[in-house]
Structure 1
Amino acid sequence: MVNTFPQAMTIAGSDCDGSAGMQADMHTFFTREVYGISVMTTLVAGNSYGIHASHMLPTDFIDQEFKDVADDFKVGACKTGMLADTTLIRDVVKNYQQYDFGPMVVDPVIMTKHGNMLLEEEAYETMRNELIPLATVVTPNFYETQKMAEMTLKSDDDLVKAAHKLQDLGAKNIIAKGYHQDASQTEVRDYVLLESGDGFWLTEPYHHTDHVNGTGDSLSACIAAELAKGETVENAIRTAKRFVNVAIGNPIDVGHKFGPINHWAAQREV
């Protein structure tokens, strides 16, 4: 039998320190027991202190990656990570529409967890108008939700309204992350809006740690992995939220400053 084992694909940049980007996605795929496939878009040089250089791969090479994957494998679900500019975003859109890579999970990577913009405005508009409408699930952080919904979030009701606005952009299912930056926090609350119109809150303990690199990558990768195994969107999201929280709550001693989460702890407990 051919291609019966579940396969998930990441479309993302390569982070040489292994804590985020494609490497975090592949860690997640492995621990969730799916075969990981990758379309590399960007090379990133960095470590636990920060990012120091990056280089985007040419689109003809990226196109060949997509073709080679489509010609041989059966991708059950895919996810996107950092897409650096309009040209790259449109190339991903083109290839996703050309081939069958299953449901797509979009981690927007528009703004940092501290509210700093990562994309130029033109690329942001392309992401919002051309990629987000293709998403089965979109997983924005607090500031990305504010940006895309074009509203300030001050309450739970605001987060619910924002999720509906993101759904109006075309994304089917939304996990809108709550504010995760308050030193006095004891829990984190994220709001999930499903394609059916049903919504619910996910609540987990808040862990005070600098070892959170790759959190968003791993969340979206875990959702893609579960979808590739045939899980429902709701179950995939619930599993991913728990998976990431366990990984954050059991840090490993790697690097000097902002370290990775612990995928192995999550593998054992989720």
Structure 2
Amino acid sequence: MTRTIVPVALTIAGSDSGGGAGIQADLKTFAFHRVHGISALTCVTAQNTLLVARVDALPVEAVIAQIAAVVTDIGVQAAKTGMLLNKQIIEAVAQQIEVFKLQHLVVDPVMVSRTGAQLLDDDAVAALRNLLIPKATIVTPNRYEAQLLTNLQINTLDEMRIAAQQIYQMGAKAVLVKGGGMEGNLRSIDIWFDGQRLETLKTSLVETKNTHGTGCTLSAAIAANLAIGKDSLSAVRQAKDYVTTALKHSLDIGSGVGPVGHFFPILEI
């Protein structure tokens, strides 16, 4: 029997029972990119397209055990973090990244929703800023997360650029400030900064209400591209193209905000 060896990407994030975001979106995205996905759950949510009814954090020891189990046996070429929920889990995840020397880390700082609602308390935000962002190969804040990290008001393209440069100073190797929460045409523009290159990345603007999971999907696609050997900026560009196409094939399911179409090539549209 021939042994098939494929790149491996790890997602450390929460579970979305509706299947549109979190661990579920990450694993779908990894699979699309022909990368084997492994996971460590941080919390379990009861949610659908309308609401999040309940969130339960997993014990810190369970998060640590999941990471150790998969990394020591299977290995990891890239990793991403999503919803970490509280200070204790963030501290534990940062420690495990250090212990196992995980490379090509994408930090999606799930702190504030695209509508501006803060999802983490101030202690957890501080832990993410001080412990996790400095370990990131790429950190991918949305507009409101960038505001929270920098204490800036971000309403213009220039302010996105300033925020990216300030977040870079926190220790990440590169920063992608996402424009999805911006107004008008800025919604399709992201700002990239890696200490040398300050790039304006633009894709076509897709008008759809079904945008659930776009941030998770983008960061997972970046991690998948890093796992298969792409350089950081190329990984981001290709991930943006993937998400844009997935938005064009978003799923109109449920009564609220549906997810992007992760497997758009096999969808009958």
The normalised TM-score by structure 2 is 0.94
In 2, Cα distance between equivalents of 1:155 and 1:25: 30
Map of 2:130 onto structure 1: 129
In 2, Cα distance between equivalents of 1:68 and 1:124: 27
Amino acid across the alignment from 2:188: V
Change (3 A) 1:103 1:2: farther
Q: Does 1:174 align with 2:175?
A: yes
Secondary structure (helix, strand or coil) at the match of 2:166 reads helix
Q: Percent identity?
A: 35
Map of 1:214 onto structure 2: 213
How does 1:223-234 map onto structure 2 within 5 Å?
Answer: 223-234=222-233
In 2, Cα distance between equivalents of 1:186 and 1:232: 25
**Could you report, residue by residue, the CA deviation over 1:163-221 in whole angstroms, capped at 9, with x for unpaired residues?**
11000000111111125454x548611111124x1121111122222211110000000
Q: Does 1:257 align with 2:263?
A: no
Secondary structure (helix, strand or coil) at the match of 1:110 reads coil
Amino acid across the alignment from 2:258: G
Map of 1:113 onto structure 2: 114
**Could you report, residue by residue, the CA deviation over 1:85-144 in whole angstroms, capped at 9, with x for unpaired residues?**
100100101111111332110000110101111111111111111111111100000111
- Alignment check: 8 A CA contact 1:74 1:101 kept: no
Deviation, 1:158, is 1.5
Q: Does 1:143 align with 2:144?
A: yes
Change (3 A) 1:187 1:130: closer
Deviation, 1:154, is 2.9
Amino acid across the alignment from 2:213: G
Change (3 A) 1:104 1:17: same
* Structure 1, 151-160 or 232-241: larger mean CA deviation: 151-160
Deviation, 1:2, is 7.8
In 2, Cα distance between equivalents of 1:27 and 1:10: 11
Map of 1:194 onto structure 2: 194
Q: Does 1:91 align with 2:92?
A: yes
Deviation, 1:253, is 2.6
Map of 2:37 onto structure 1: 36
Amino acid across the alignment from 2:100: Y
- Alignment check: 8 A CA contact 2:157 2:186 kept: no
Secondary structure (helix, strand or coil) at the match of 1:205 reads coil
Map of 2:54 onto structure 1: 53
In 2, Cα distance between equivalents of 1:200 and 1:139: 14
**Could you report, residue by residue, the CA deviation over 1:67-92 in whole angstroms, capped at 9, with x for unpaired residues?**
11122112000000001110010010
Amino acid across the alignment from 1:204: T
How does 1:61-80 map onto structure 2 within 5 Å?
Answer: 61-80=62-81
Change (3 A) 1:187 1:158: closer
* Structure 1, 37-46 or 245-254: larger mean CA deviation: 245-254
The CA RMSD measured in Å over matched residues stands at 1.8
Name stretches of at least 5 consecutive residues in structure 1 with no aligned partner: none
In 2, Cα distance between equivalents of 1:238 and 1:71: 31
Number of equivalenced pairs: 266
Map of 1:236 onto structure 2: 235
Deviation, 1:149, is 1.6
In 1, Cα distance between equivalents of 2:65 and 2:111: 26
- Alignment check: 8 A CA contact 1:139 1:220 kept: yes
Change (3 A) 1:47 1:169: same
Secondary structure (helix, strand or coil) at the match of 2:19 reads coil
Name stretches of at least 5 consecutive residues in structure 2 with no aligned partner: none
In 2, Cα distance between equivalents of 1:3 and 1:164: 41
Q: Does 1:23 align with 2:28?
A: no
Q: Does 1:248 align with 2:233?
A: no
- Alignment check: 8 A CA contact 1:45 1:53 kept: yes
Change (3 A) 1:267 1:120: farther
